[in-house]
Amino acid sequence: MGLSVAFRGRAQSERYGDDSNRLAMDSHVIFDLFVSYPVLKTLEIFVSCENLFDQQYISEVNIGRRLGQPQAFFVGLRLRQPLAPLGGSAPKAP
């Protein structure tokens, strides 16, 4: 196990926010990045960025135009516990 990197793209074509096709919403592409690194056998640190290039886009038009989430960064620790064996025995009752 070593450094893990994931790059994701999300594309949305032009669409409408109502059933009469009057409230148009532009097409857009959003990219995300996720990087993690194990620091111990059961612990890894991660950093992720959503909307990597801070693309501005309309996410809703029904209640007025609302912008989608701007660029956001997250940092954290992930604890990985070993899995119990399949078909393992349950604890015995006293």
Q: How many domains does the structure of the chain reveal?
A: 1
Whether 87 is covered by a domain: the verdict is no
pLDDT surpasses 80 at 1? no
Count of CA atoms in the C-beta half-sphere (13 A) of 94? 0
Q: State the pLDDT at residue 5.
A: 98
Q: Is residue 53 part of a domain?
A: yes
What pLDDT digit, counting tens, does each position of 51-85 carry? 999 999 988 887 788 899 999 999 999 998 877 77
- Does any domain span residue 23? yes
Say if 56 falls within a structural domain: yes
Residues 6+ apart with CB under 8 A from 94: none
Tell me the pTM: 0.74
- For residues 2 and 15, give the distance between their C-alpha atoms in angstroms, rounded to a whole number: 41
**Domain limits for position 13:** 4-79
Nearest to 66 by CA among 37, 5, 23: 23
Q: Is residue 92 part of a domain?
A: no
Tokens of 64: 């007025």
Q: Is residue 85 part of a domain?
A: no
Q: How far apart are CA 61 and CA 71, in angstroms?
A: 21
